[in-house]
Copies of this chain bind each other. A is one copy, B any other.
Amino acid sequence: MKARVFVTLKNGVLDPQGKAIGHALQGLGFDGVGEVRQGKVIDLELAERDAAKARACLTEMCEKLLANTIIEKYEIELKG
């Protein structure tokens, strides 16, 4: 089973990278760009075939390693 995990900064946490990207896009003449936030996407291949089990396992991975839950939140997406 393939899975995709999104790790993004919690609301209110400063995102220097996103800020700089937004600035650069404006500089390149892209108008109408509002807030930009940057996060991580982690694609994993799992041996697990049971969706519920996979999700539970991924949640644990996020809590333990993939996300820094003090400043980041995560979303899990299973791709069959």
A residues apposed to B, CB below 8 Å: 6, 8, 18, 21-22, 24-25, 28, 30-48, 57, 60-61, 64-66
Contact A39 to B43, CB < 8 A, known contacts A61-B25, A65-B28: yes
Of B30, B41, B48, B60, the residue contacting A61 (CB under 8 A) is B30
Question: What residues of chain B lie closer than 8 Å to A35, measured between beta carbons?
Answer: 43-45
- Residues in B with CB closer than 8 Å to A44 are 22, 33-36
Partner of A42, one of B31, B38, B43, B46: B38
Q: Tell which of B18, B34, B40, B48 touches A32, judged by Cβ atoms closer than 8 Å.
A: B48
Q: Closest B residue to A65 by CB, please name it.
A: B24
